[in-house]
Amino acid sequence: MPKDTYYFSHDYNSRTDSKIKRLLLKHGMLGYGIWWAIVEDLYSNDNNILTDYETIAFDLRCDVVIIKSILHDFDLFIFNETHFGSLSVGNRIDIMHEKSKQASISANIRWEKERDKKKRGELKKPPKQKPEPNPPTEEKPLSAEQKDFQTAFSGWIEMRKQIKKPATERAQELAKSELRKLAGKDISLAIQIINQSVVCCWTSFYPLKENNNNNGYNNAPAKIYKDLTNN
């Protein structure tokens, strides 16, 4: 339904009107339907339609003779030189306009009262509610392997300090990224790779040598570099 379509009252007992009874007697329900279609057009055109029988007949898909009869034979419409309308439709449109006018006046009065209250400070905005802080997330305890990894990695950082090549935070991030590439999620393998770099005083990490078991990397402590620097 279009947005500019408006409701208009439809009398439920319109067929009991003497004029409509004569219309039904002559043209049956066809005439009754055409009459209502013309009434709808009058509401859409402010109760003023050009008296053009052929155009109306074409629009309603009926004979011109029927249109002329419905318009003139039953005293249902009023005419001037070029247009026609309906007294009952005109009265209802006036009522609609009056109700709309009164509704607009009531709305304006209500808005003015609210505006005056705002000026007097009677209408206060509700205080903004502060969002509740998110509950602190509980840190999961580290596993034994994770603790060993941290100990080993701290040993590698300390070794770099001893050889005068300290690792910056960025260097530590890159080193951990390299470890993930070499060991994946295998923490035990990552620890062996770290210990290998500590023993060899390497500033980065590399794949384990084939004879790593013979060199003792598997069980080398994270701070073995201290033994090397004491020799």
Reported as a single tens digit per residue, the pLDDT across 111-153 is 887 887 777 766 566 667 777 777 766 667 768 888 888 899 9
Say what the pLDDT of residue 144 is.
81
Contact 24, 70 (CB under 8 A): no
Q: DSSP label at 141?
A: P
What's residue 175's pLDDT?
A: 87
CA torsion angle for 137, 138, 142, 146 (degrees, to 10)?
0
Alpha carbons 157 and 166: distance in angstroms, whole number: 7
pLDDT of residue 137: 64
* The overall pTM is greater than 0.75: no
Which pLDDT belongs to residue 38? 96
Provide the pLDDT for residue 227: 46
- Residue 194: count other Cβ atoms within 10 Å of its Cβ: 27
The pLDDT score that the predictor gives to residue 225 is: 43
Please report which residue ranges of 45-164 form alpha helices under DSSP H.
53-60, 64-72, 87-120, 144-162
Residue 165 has pLDDT above 60, yes or no: yes
Q: Highest mean pLDDT: which of 24-33, 159-168, 211-220? A: 24-33
Q: Cβ atoms within 10 A of the Cβ of 148, count?
A: 17
Is residue 85 helix, strand or coil?
strand
